[in-house]
């Protein structure tokens, strides 16, 4: 059964904060119209662990040298 609840960014961020401190990301952007929460951070073991806990597969983008992944709500972009 598909989740029909409206996008609640506060609920999603509260859920994420149970996994990790949001301070490990240097930018968090919320786009209610998509719906999406974009997390930007430095590539390190903490940020990779968050991606793994969210079930997000990270891939290296050769064009811009960034590592990206999404699960449909959370989008993670990591740099060196």
Distances (CA, A) of 64 to 21, 42, 73: 27, 14, 23
Q: Which residue has the tokens 């983008």?
A: 61
> Digits of tens for pLDDT over the chain (80 positions)?
455 678 899 999 999 999 889 999 999 999 988 899 999 999 999 999 999 999 999 999 888 889 999 998 999 999 98
- Lateral strand order in the sheet of 59-61: 25-31, 36-42, 74-79, 66-70, 59-61
Beta bridge partners of 74: 37
Q: Record the pTM.
A: 0.85
Alpha helical stretches, state H, 1-80: 9-19, 45-54
């Amino acid at each position: 059964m598909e989740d029909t609840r409206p996008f609640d960014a506060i609920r999603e961020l509260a859920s994420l904060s149970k996994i990790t401190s949001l301070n490990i990301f240097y930018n968090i952007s919320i786009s209610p119209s998509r719906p999406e929460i974009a997390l930007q951070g430095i590539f390190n073991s903490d940020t990779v662990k968050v991606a793994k806990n969210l079930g997000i597969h990270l891939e290296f983008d050769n064009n811009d040298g960034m590592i990206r992944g999404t699960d449909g709500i959370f989008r993670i972009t990591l740099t060196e």
